[in-house]
Amino acid sequence: MLTYYCPQCWSEVAANERVCPHCGYPLDEFRQQAFEDKLLAALHHTLPERRIMAAQILGNLKSERALPEFIKIIEGNEEDYFFLRAVLLAVVKIPHPDRIKILQRASQHPSRLVSDLAKELLVDLNEGHVNVQRWDRHTG
């Protein structure tokens, strides 16, 4: 059996405890953040499927911490269209004002497939009818 410790007061805590019974530390939030950290690291995984999956989950979690990473990926040397596509679809799911800026940058992407997708998503966002399910269906 694994033993868990509160990261604030170092008391032993049950694995499913939401809040530390000793000091009130929000363990749930901590776990969520640790999970997010792993996903953010997985964006640079050597296996493309892992990178794609990490981007998708970060989008579903509406992770604002992922946005700066997504900008770097879009503006970097990434050439895997399926990964870039997963990143753009994740950006759309994160309700943060920066997402428009990120899509605008992506619409200047050297890959025609990426720039066209970004433009389509921008039109959808501007018209207020982003249907993420519609895009998800085309993923992978």
Binding site for Zn ion (CB under 5 A): 6, 8-9, 20, 22-23, 25
Q: Least distance to Zn ion from the beta carbon of 19, Å? A: 9
Three-class SS state of 44: coil
Long-range own/partner contacts, residues 107-114 (CB < 8 A, 24 or more apart): 109/74, 109/84, 111/79, 111/81, 111/84, 113/81, 113/85, 114/74, 114/81, 114/84, 114/85, 114/88
CA angle at 133 for the pair 130 and 139, rounded to the nearest 5°: 110
Q: Least distance to Zn ion from the beta carbon of 34, Å? A: 16
Between helix 81-93 and helix 48-60 the angle, nearest 10°, is: 10
Q: Least distance to Zn ion from the beta carbon of 20, Å? A: 3
5, β-bridge pairs:
12
Residue 125, amino acid = L
Q: Which is nearer to Zn ion, 9 or 41 (CB)?
A: 9
Q: Least distance to Zn ion from the beta carbon of 47, Å? A: 36
Q: Which is nearer to Zn ion, 19 or 132 (CB)?
A: 19
Q: Which is nearer to Zn ion, 8 or 107 (CB)?
A: 8
Q: Which is nearer to Zn ion, 13 or 57 (CB)?
A: 13
